[in-house]
Amino acid sequence: MLYEKCAEVSQEFWRELNEAEPEEVARRTGAIFQGGSYQLPFLNRELMIDVKEKRINIAGAGDADPGFRACLTALLYLIRLDPAALGPLISAMEVPGGANFFQSHGPHALPNAPLEERFGQDLAGFLEAGRRLGAEVRAAGDASLAFQVFPGLWVEVVLWQADEEFPAQVSFMVPSQIDRFWHLDAVLGLMVIVVRELLAAAGGSN
């Protein structure tokens, strides 16, 4: 990923948001529009999205930069996504085009390796990090956590622990139909956000 800072998000997305009808955006997404800004739940926190100033901050975090991926997906969520039209969670590889787009290495690599390394023998740490982020525990793998990144937009992380025969394995579940609204690079960015937040919540490096 060449971009890391919020300011590097395309100005076109800001123009689209500025031209959108705030009442429609709020009704569709669940964001609150007040005083020229959207208040958008983000995991266990809230993003403040100032349309006029083209600025996004995490509530209570001062001027800390939320990062390119968080800002990009927040804007794409507001301008393009209809959470009510998303379907049940499916493997990221089952999203149309996903088997070709998502790779084990390179720029489109799924971000499973850092989680496998950090939590492959630490199931309790995985669950505790998820709890800190407000995740729901689901019944898949040895442990599974579902994160509502934005209202109605879920990502599930499934962990199989390492044992004497097999290494640890992590897989990702995302909403079916998400490809109707987002390109797959944005879907990948959503998964990377969850991974970084999990590692940060566990005290791991990102």
Instruction: Specify the 3-state DSSP secondary structure of 68.
Output: helix
What's the average pLDDT block by block, 10 residues per block, for the chain (206 residues)? 85 97 97 96 96 94 91 98 98 95 85 96 96 95 97 98 92 97 96 96 66
Query: Quick one: pLDDT at residue 206?
Result: 37
CATH 3.30.310 in the chain: give the residue spans.
85-201
Q: What angle do CA 120, 122, 126 make, to 5 degrees?
A: 95
Counted residue by residue, the chain has a size of 206
168-204 pLDDT, tens digit each:
999 999 999 999 999 999 999 999 999 999 999 998 4
Q: Contact 73/157 with Cβ under 8 angstroms? A: no
CA distance 114 to 152: 26
Q: Which CATH architecture has domain 85-201?
A: 2-Layer Sandwich (3.30)
